[in-house]
A and B are shown apart, each in its own frame.
Chain A
């Protein structure tokens, strides 16, 4: 490779940005490059997921930033803006553009835009195996020559070509302009002339000329790109001159060519790509002729008759899977913590520690850690199942199937996925709204998410249903779930009407070909999400547990969570508010307060407050509640508040305390109203 010249500025750290279309195998490349050394976060200011990873190559630390999957670098979605801003502002040393070899033409559209920006690019020609299976042959060397960038063939799921990719990406950086320029794209004489005119003015602008590639900016301005126009009008001295010229050029082109410059430019890019593809790709049949296995599966899975049953079966499968494996693991963890607390309190008593300290360590700290850990099995299993369905391509079909139904409540099919996840746990449900590109749509989905009965509410229902409705267990339980779903639908509709006016954003969604996900890929996917959940939710749940401990033990010397503790007094304060709902006892009030911290805690709180556990709790409940008050209480638990972890997730995904507080407020009001209606109408019926 000749003499290697090390650029001084980046002596120790390389930054590689990973870009590519959705479904091009970018995630597999990212996994292959970085393994499990990944960190999931958010891009600042937006809730687009940011994945970072590291690798060490020949003693050098390389940071890999996974840009959101996009088809283009326009400004049509947050994803595109994020990807583009990163390239423009952070100036990664190399961009690895992952290109799906079985779909070269479409994927090159993004590549072209990197070339327009004049950033150092290495193409990872991925999924070579799929291309070969479809009898598509690509002349890699020629492709590289025509585009003027290195091209490395890869099969990421089998780690093939990854080493070469890293070599190429790092060496492009040490090399000095050894790659000659490939074909330059021409947009037709008319457009090229206008680009030149705009470029000439940009060249004279002291700020813009340093910040952007002149030609790229000129193209973007001609395309009518909002962000580029904004940039020019805010940070340029010559904004008037530039924008005037752009305006003139646009109307000139419209007149001469009879179309918007944006369309002409896109057209030219595709023409260029077709020219390249013609020279490097050999394939046996034309793309739109092929009926693939995926199409055949789709004709069943998306069909009107069996589509929904298959979908429901899948969902049922997820929950059975999560519960069947998660429940025993969770109870195992609970048992472990019970014995741990016993051992530790005994040990502490033996060394003469004060009761208060013991209680703090045991009930507060260890109890807090325990309540985080019991979440792990169901959450990770749920994420595993969802990652699998996503990675194999089924989730997109689920969104397709549900589109019509979701339109009825003013949402689109894609919103259905976060809501379904919410049945397991509202936190990942809210987190999953990230996949929704339309802001109103996303916000609306987040707002109604807490109404979806998550699995943590189930123990509460089991307790009360078991106590009062043993004969109709299933039916009563079903009525509660149904109430949650119907309320979510009604609220979604109302929010759409009054808060997020406007049409439902139209569905435009790629249905990726079905793929058997790799074990490694699915596990990394699950791990990254689960970890994210644990870090965010874990700290909050733990913190809340400690806070609750203090509220239960202050003032000093009070009985733990008794009537005279702070929490007990707080409960007493809200008792009058709960009276009209049929459960105006301080125990119920305290249980509801604790329930905000995590819903399943309601059961253990009641057992502490009534001073009994297990079967005894059921009989105490039967003596102190009526069937009607129990039902009203279950409705209240269903609606009254998201748990703290969900609240935190809502804050994070909406990026706004306003919406977070709004969600909590409407939940509380709606919960109270529904419980009030149920209790009082029920009373009339019982009396009458």
Chain B
């Protein structure tokens, strides 16, 4: 349970993680903030094979393109590796 950060796109399905950082421009950060990607929020990956990911955050299911998922840095909590 180290503190290493991964991008969301790298997490396998079923993995739980905590949002730590969003690397991106003002527009993307703003959009993700209002969708609940605030530091410290927990999320869970439901699907991640090809194409967009499906994640669960604050009880909402979101489809996230890979490009976006690559810009979200998370700290895995459980279910990784």
Contacts of A72 in B (CB 8 A): 34
Q: How far is the CA of A260 from the CA of B38 in the complex (A)?
A: 13
A304 CB to closest chain B CB (Å) equals: 7
Tell whether A507 pairs with B50 under 8 Å between CB atoms, given A263-B39, A270-B38.
Answer: no
Q: Is the beta-carbon distance between A263 and B33 smaller than 8 angstroms? A: yes
Q: Is the beta-carbon distance between B59 and A288 smaller than 8 angstroms? A: yes
Q: Mark B44-81, 1 if CB is under 8 A from A, else 0.
A: 10110111101011111111110110000000000000
Binding site for B on A (CB under 8 A): 71-72, 74, 76-77, 102-103, 105-106, 109, 224, 260, 262-263, 266-267, 270, 286-290, 294-295, 298-299, 302, 304, 396, 399-400, 403-404, 412-413, 503, 506-513
Q: Is the beta-carbon distance between B34 and A76 smaller than 8 angstroms? A: yes
A513 CB to closest chain B CB (Å) equals: 7
Q: How many A-B residue pairs have CB under 8 A?
A: 117
* A to B CB contacts below 8 Å, 29 in the list: A71-B34, A71-B35, A76-B30, A76-B31, A103-B59, A105-B58, A106-B36, A109-B36, A263-B38, A270-B36, A270-B38, A270-B41, A288-B56, A290-B59, A295-B46, A295-B56, A304-B49, A304-B50, A400-B63, A403-B51, A507-B65, A508-B31, A508-B62, A508-B65, A510-B35, A510-B60, A511-B54, A511-B61, A511-B62
Binding site for A on B (CB under 8 A): 16, 26-36, 38-39, 41-44, 46-47, 49-52, 54, 56-65, 67-68
Q: Is the beta-carbon distance between B61 and A510 smaller than 8 angstroms? A: yes
Q: Is the beta-carbon distance between A262 and B30 smaller than 8 angstroms? A: yes
Residue from B41, B47, B52 whose CB has the most chain A CB atoms within 10 Å: B52
B2 CB to closest chain A CB (Å) equals: 21
Contacts of A289 in B (CB 8 A): 44
Contacts of A109 in B (CB 8 A): 34, 36
Q: How far is the CA of A544 from the CA of B21 in the complex (A)?
A: 57
Residue from B32, B39, B49 whose CB has the most chain A CB atoms within 10 Å: B39
Contacts of B29 in A (CB 8 A): 260, 262-263
Contacts of B41 in A (CB 8 A): 270
Contacts of A290 in B (CB 8 A): 56, 59
**A136 and chain B: residue at smallest CB distance:** B59
Known: A262-B33, A266-B33, A403-B52. 16 other contacts (CB 8 A): A77-B31, A109-B36, A262-B26, A262-B29, A270-B36, A288-B56, A288-B59, A294-B61, A295-B46, A298-B46, A298-B47, A298-B54, A404-B52, A503-B67, A507-B65, A510-B62
A120 CB to closest chain B CB (Å) equals: 23
Tell whether A507 pairs with B61 under 8 Å between CB atoms, given A76-B30, A106-B36, A263-B33.
Answer: no
**A104 and chain B: residue at smallest CB distance:** B59
Q: Is the beta-carbon distance between A74 and B30 smaller than 8 angstroms? A: yes
